[in-house]
Amino acid sequence: MGAGIPSWDAMRVFLEVARHGSFRAASQHLDTSINALRHQVTELENRVGLTLMTRHVDGIRVTAEGREVLQVAQRMEMASLDLRRAFGQSDTNMAGEVRLAITEGLGTFWITPRLVEFQRAFPKLLIDMRCAMQSADVLRMEADMSVQLTRPAALDLKIVKIGRLHAMPFAAQSYLDRHGTPSCVSDLVNHRIVLQVAEHLASVIEYERLFHGIPQPGFVAIRSNVSSAHYWSVAKGAGIGMLPTYSVALGAPVIPLDIGLRHDVDIWLTYHPDVGRIPRLRQLLDWVIDAFDSKKFPWFSDEFIHPHELPRMLAGVEMMNMFAGFSSEHVNAGTDK
């Protein structure tokens, strides 16, 4: 260690720069100049005698030594919050920033439309949502919490299974009008299909298993890497593709195809153990867990439920149209126009 024990102010600056990934983003959040933040971090590095982060054109990278200091800074933040609560200074207005990472499909079609109501309930909260096909590294503070379709391996994180995503083949009515309806999986070779390729999906493996030896050109109409593009491909009638079973219940103008093909994947929530001690993060954490409650939203249960059964199960429950703006009512999806 260097000349002495660093102050909480210096550690807090380091913590915020690491959280935001760059001095510029941290300066906007803290309303402080970039040069002032750089000076404080450099002073902290000199004091502890370690290189805590390296500077790059696209932001900063926390070093291995920096990650150890980061854990200390997080504990200091927890202690600071405990002191505020002890003296009755807890922020009852729930202000600040929360960062949620989530897969692109769930983020676009499920969470975002409902998140508007959460933000209205807590107007002083800024929800920074990262929708991506790759899972965020919560341990390295890329997000406060992450909803993903691959089980995290980090031992230092809280890992909770919050649901299961069920998918089956769907097609637009316009496609079925032109090409007919397949009767079984083997019949798909007489159709056009669309594929979504991502790290948490078994699309490529499934393709090789089901259509071994069949070249994709001329058979696969569109191959994309994000759920929104994949949904558009199906809804506009490009071909048959796998979609979540809740699509119909939430207003998507697509038709489920009973040909004996399904894909199930668990939905995981991961977060740092200290998240529960920060009120604004705890509030979002509880809301996310509730958003995947299978008692309210049966399509997230472990058991497969056919899309045709969902309207009956939701009888009397008003569900917002998550595909508003994506549906045929608004954009003529599933037509040749």
Query: How far apart are the C-alpha atoms of 332 and 330, rounded to whole Å?
Result: 6
Single out the residue of 270, 268, 245 nearest to residue 256, CA to CA.
Answer: 245
Cβ–Cβ < 8 Å for 37, 23: yes
pLDDT of residue 91: 46
In the structure, what pLDDT confidence band is assigned to residue 1 with cuts at 50, 70 and 90? very low
Helix (H, G, I), strand (E, B) or coil at 95: coil
Q: What is residue 203's predicted lDDT score, i.e. its pLDDT?
A: 63
Does residue 202 contact residue 149 with C-beta atoms inside 8 Å? no
Q: So what's the pLDDT on residue 156?
A: 75
Q: pLDDT tens digit string along 10-49?
A: 888 898 888 888 888 888 777 788 888 999 899 899 888 8
Q: Which pLDDT belongs to residue 312?
A: 73
Domains for the chain: give ranges and CATH numbers: 8-86 (1.10.10.10), 96-162+267-293 (3.40.190.10), 165-265+317-331 (3.40.190.10)
The better pLDDT of the pair 296, 223 is held by 223
What residues have CB less than 8 Å from 59, skipping those under 6 apart?
A: 21, 22, 25
Q: Which residues contact 56 (CB under 8 A, 6 or more apart)?
A: none
pLDDT at residue 240 greater than cutoff 90 = yes
Q: What is the pLDDT of residue 326?
A: 42
Confidence at residue 133, expressed as pLDDT on a 0 to 100 scale: 65
Q: State residue 209's pLDDT score.
A: 84
The DSSP secondary-structure symbol of 312 reads: H
pLDDT for the residue 15:
87
pLDDT of residue 93: 57
- Mean pLDDT, the chain, rounded, equals 81
Q: Which residue spans within 109-237 are E strands per DSSP?
A: 125-131, 145-148, 158-171, 193-196, 220-224
